[in-house]
């Protein structure tokens, strides 16, 4: 079942000096429980697409159909933690804004903090945490309001390679366990193949869809395991050629 339908999305930015066509034509559907990755060259309009889908920006034209009852969780590029709030308070900000600081929700946040190894850091401030921990806090902050669809904008870009693998494994499991649908932007082709059910490859700006790959791996399991699947190299090669990094 499709929970999100996008048709011929187009977005132009207007500044005083010129007009930038960021997205030329973008259409796709998201199914319930599906994990979609979007890859494409830098500056091609990935963040733009995401912010339009979750309602922060307006499209210039095109049609977006979304089930009105669904809730969005948007994880921006960068963790954007509030330095003056404790980790715990950072996680609660969404609930505060939505006036939903119920016992049940607070328990849920506590459980998430506990599960993802941040319990001892509840009273710490963000500056005392490593990049990986901060990213996890940012994810918990997003999950706290119990969104149905997650929009992730390069969620792991601030992390070193080792942490990146570990955290993306974590995040993947959280998303699957909580039965969320997700759209994730990434620069990392391996990450896209190892995590997503579907990879959308965008062209250079103004972006259009170059290709969509249904990722079918034998013995599909966690992202780290998936990297060992025999089809992995095949997809990697295809996507690499699509993106055509030689500019």
Partner 1 sequence: MYSKEHKEYLKKIKINKFLIRLSQLLIVFLIIFIWQFAADKNLINTFISSSPKAIINTIINLYKDETLFHHIWITFYEVIISFLIATIGGIIIASILWRYKFISKVIDPYLTMLNSLPKVSLGPIIIIIAGASTKSIIIMALFISIIITIINVTQAFETTDKNKIRLLQSFKAKPYQIFFKLILPSNYNNLINVCKVNIGLVFIGVIMGEFLVSKAGIGYLIMYGSQVFNLNLVMTGVILLAIMASLMYYLIIFIEKKFQK
Name which of Mg ion, partner 1, ligand ATP, none residue 44 binds, using a CB cut-off of 5 to 8 Å depending on partner kind: ligand ATP
Q: If binding is defined by CB under 6 A, does position 184 make contact with ligand ATP?
A: no
Residue 11 C-beta: closest distance to ligand ATP, Å: 8
Contact set with partner 1 (CB under 8 A): 51, 54, 56, 72-74, 76-78, 80, 82, 84, 93-94, 96-98, 145
What does DSSP assign to residue 57? S
Whether the Cβ atoms of residue 158 and residue 79 lie closer than 8 Å to each other: yes
Q: If binding is defined by CB under 6 A, does position 205 make contact with ligand ATP?
A: yes
**Total binding residues toward Mg ion, as defined by CB under 5 A:** 1
Per the listing, tokens 């990094």 go with 245
What does DSSP assign to residue 149? E
Residue 167 C-beta: closest distance to partner 1, Å: 19
Residue 179 C-beta: closest distance to Mg ion, Å: 27
Q: If binding is defined by CB under 6 A, does position 66 make contact with ligand ATP?
A: no
Q: CB-based burial of residue 232 (10 Å sphere; 0-12 exposed, 13-18 middle, 19+ buried)?
A: middle
What does DSSP assign to residue 240? H
Region binding Mg ion by CB under 5 A among candidate stretches 47-55, 113-121, 176-184, 237-245 = 47-55
What helix, strand, coil percent values describe the chain, rounded to 5? Answer: 35, 25, 35
Residue 112 C-beta: closest distance to ligand ATP, Å: 27
**CA–CA gap between residue 229 and residue 240 (Å, rounded):** 17
Out of 32, 47, 115, 124, the only residue in the binding site for Mg ion (CB under 5 A) is 47
Neighbours of 138 (CB within 10 A): 22
Per the listing, tokens 């930038």 go with 20
Q: If binding is defined by CB under 6 A, does position 24 make contact with ligand ATP?
A: no
Whether the Cβ atoms of residue 87 and residue 137 lie closer than 8 Å to each other: yes
Residue numbers of the site for Mg ion (CB under 5 A)?
A: 47
Residues binding ligand ATP (CB under 6 A): 13, 15, 20, 22, 42-48, 205
């Amino acid at each position: 079942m499709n929970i999100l339908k996008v048709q011929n999305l187009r977005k132009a930015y207007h500044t005083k000096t010129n007009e930038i066509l960021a997205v030329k034509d973008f259409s796709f559907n998201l199914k319930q429980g599906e994990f979609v990755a979007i890859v494409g060259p830098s500056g091609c309009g990935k963040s733009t697409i995401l912010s339009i889908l979750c309602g922060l920006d307006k499209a210039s034209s095109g049609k977006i159909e979304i089930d009105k009852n669904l809730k969005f969780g948007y994880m921006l590029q960068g963790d954007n933690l509030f330095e003056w709030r404790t980790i715990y308070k950072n996680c609660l900000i969404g609930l505060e804004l939505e006036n939903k600081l119920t016992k049940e929700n607070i328990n849920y946040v506590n459980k998430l903090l506990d599960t993802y190894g941040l319990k001892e850091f509840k009273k710490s401030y963000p500056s005392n945490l490593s990049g990986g921990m901060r990213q996890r806090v940012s994810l918990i902050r997003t999950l706290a309001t119990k969104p149905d669809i997650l929009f992730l904008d390069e969620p792991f870009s601030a992390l070193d390679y080792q942490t990146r693998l570990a955290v993306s494994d974590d995040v993947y499991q959280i998303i699957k366990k909580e039965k969320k649908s997700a759209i994730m932007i990434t620069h990392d082709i391996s990450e896209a193949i190892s995590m997503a059910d579907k990879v959308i490859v965008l062209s250079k700006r103004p972006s259009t869809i170059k290709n969509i790959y249904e990722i079918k791996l034998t013995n599909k399991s966690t992202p780290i395991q998936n990297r060992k699947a025999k089809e992995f190299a095949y997809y990697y090669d295809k996507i690499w050629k699509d993106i055509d990094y030689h500019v």
